[in-house]
């Protein structure tokens, strides 16, 4: 792709109605992704699970989302995306509601696997619709990501207030209600959705206005970039999955306070997506991605240190800021690297890869925690994040200098 075509691209924003619909839907969908970590201490107590088993429970749920995302991404290029997403919301909500009624853990896990299929429909189709409508800039992606963080914060506040009264079963049902309403809205009033409108895709300069840009489109570089993203997700998601458990068992916080700990990361994430999404439009997504992901490396192990209780929330907010700051940029980069390929399939592969990593991460964290303790497991989260940063830096340099 010539540099002139990159520089001449016009930043376009989505019509308000389409943006609101997509963003609200994103918030409802993200509740499913993080429906388990805040209630994990309660599940550990009820079923007497070890850390590895608890991590495995989350891993199975996220693995199903990963596998189904790859299939749903391809499907979203062939069918009406609004109807596909609406059906996914209803399937996920029905399965989560049924899981809350099950007395045995295997039945709970089995129904969560079914819920994962429904959850997987949203992200590939939504990202592709943003790109295909010509709205694929950092500002639009940043607002899209921020709504996910905002919805999770609201859910965590509700869970903190209701935990003593409802238990983990009632709390996961509360998290599934917005998705059920969104699914009904999309299926009963499909004309309000413009998911399939096509336009001129927006492509941002990958490395900033002044950096040389080589021909993006190498399948190898695209694959290496996705692996780099996966490594970052491995470190961050492992921490997010167990941070309430870590704060309760290693730091000694009250469960009601610790259950909101994940919310601090999303509070920072809400700001990070909005601020750094706009920065990606001005500076290019690669510089923003490398800055944000690089700053995570020293931040993650800080939580493994003994410190005053008030510092833990502050560090979690900063981690959340830079973690979510990566999302708009990584979407823009992959969109440019993938060239003219159907975007539902491309974003389905990205979501599948990252969801699979998110599935593995709590299991890996649980194994390390059982073998070496929770503190060591927290500190180890920085290792994959550092490896991922190095790999993305390599991809950027290859793009700037494509000579063999």
Name all domains of the chain by residue range, CATH numbers in brackets.
3-400 (1.20.1250.20)
Length of the chain: 404
Q: What is the C-alpha separation between 119 and 151, in angstroms, rounded? A: 15
- Position 80 scores a pLDDT of 82
Specify whether the CB–CB gap between 317 and 268 falls below 8 A: yes
Q: Take residue 13 and report the two structure tokens written for it.
A: 């924003």
In this prediction the pTM is 0.78
Q: Which residues are within 8 A (CB) of 162 and not within 5 positions of it... i.e. 6 or more apart?
A: 170, 171, 174
- Position 403 scores a pLDDT of 54
Name the burial class of residue 60, with classes exposed (0-12), middle (13-18) and buried (19+) by CB atoms within 10 angstroms of its CB. middle
Q: What is the C-alpha separation between 334 and 72, in angstroms, rounded? A: 18
- Position 21 scores a pLDDT of 80
Give the CA-trace dihedral at 112, 118, 119, 125, to 10 degrees. Answer: 160
Q: What is the C-alpha separation between 277 and 236, in angstroms, rounded? A: 19
- Position 33 scores a pLDDT of 84
- Position 199 scores a pLDDT of 45
pLDDT in tens, the chain (404 residues): 333 332 333 334 445 666 778 888 888 998 888 788 777 778 888 888 787 787 788 888 888 988 998 888 888 888 888 888 999 999 999 999 999 898 888 898 899 999 999 999 998 888 888 877 666 678 888 888 888 888 878 877 777 677 667 788 888 888 899 999 999 988 887 565 555 544 444 445 555 543 334 444 467 888 899 999 999 999 998 888 788 888 888 887 777 677 677 778 888 988 999 999 999 989 889 999 999 999 999 999 988 888 887 888 899 999 999 999 999 999 889 888 877 666 778 888 888 888 888 778 888 888 898 898 888 999 999 999 999 999 999 999 988 765 55
Specify whether the CB–CB gap between 71 and 387 falls below 8 A: no
- Neighbouring CB atoms inside 10 A of 199's CB total 13
Q: Which residues are within 8 A (CB) of 236 and not within 5 positions of it... i.e. 6 or more apart?
A: 296, 300, 319, 323, 381, 385
Helices (H) and strands (E) in the chain, counts: 16, 0
């Amino acid at each position: 792709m010539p540099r002139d075509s990159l520089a001449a691209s016009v930043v376009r924003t989505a019509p308000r109605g389409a943006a609101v619909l997509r963003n609200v839907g994103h918030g409802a969908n993200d509740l499913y992704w993080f429906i388990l970590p805040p209630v994990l201490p309660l599940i550990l107590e009820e079923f007497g699970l070890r850390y590895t088993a608890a991590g495995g429970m989350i891993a199975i749920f996220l693995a199903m989302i990963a596998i189904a995302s790859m299939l749903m991404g391809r499907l979203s290029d062939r069918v009406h995306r609004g109807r596909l997403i609406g059906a996914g919301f209803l399937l996920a909500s029905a399965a989560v509601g049924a899981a809350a009624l099950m007395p045995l853990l295997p039945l709970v896990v089995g129904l969560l696997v079914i819920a994962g299929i429904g959850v997987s429909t949203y992200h590939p189709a939504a990202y592709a619709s943003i790109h295909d409508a010509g709205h694929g800039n950092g500002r639009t992606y940043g607002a899209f990501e921020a709504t996910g963080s905002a919805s999770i914060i609201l859910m965590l506040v509700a869970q903190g207030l209701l935990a003593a009264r409802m238990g983990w079963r009632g709390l996961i049902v509360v998290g599934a209600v917005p998705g059920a309403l969104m699914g009904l809205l999309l299926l009963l009033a499909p004309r309000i959705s413009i998911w399939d409108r096509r336009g001129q895709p927006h492509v941002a300069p990958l490395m900033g206005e002044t950096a040389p840009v080589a021909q993006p489109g190498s399948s190898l570089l695209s694959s290496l970039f996705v692996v780099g993203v996966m490594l970052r997700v491995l470190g961050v998601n492992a921490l997010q999955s167990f941070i309430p458990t870590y704060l309760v068992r290693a730091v000694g916080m009250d469960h009601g306070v610790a259950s909101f700990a994940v919310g601090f990361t999303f509070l920072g994430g809400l700001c990070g997506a909005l601020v750094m999404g706009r920065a990606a439009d001005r500076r290019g997504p690669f510089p923003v991605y490398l800055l944000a992901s690089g700053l995570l490396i020293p931040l993650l192990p800080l939580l493994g240190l003994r410190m005053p209780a008030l510092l833990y929330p502050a560090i979690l907010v900063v981690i959340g800021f830079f973690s979510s700051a990566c999302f708009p940029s990584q979407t823009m980069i992959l969109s440019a690297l993938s060239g003219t390929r159907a975007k539902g399939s491309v974003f389905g592969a990205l979501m599948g890869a990252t969801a699979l990593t998110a599935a593995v991460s709590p299991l890996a964290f649980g194994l390390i925690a059982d073998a070496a303790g929770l503190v060591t497991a927290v500190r180890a989260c920085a290792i994959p994040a550092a490896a991922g940063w190095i790999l993305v830096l390599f991809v950027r340099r290859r793009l700037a200098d494509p000579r063999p």
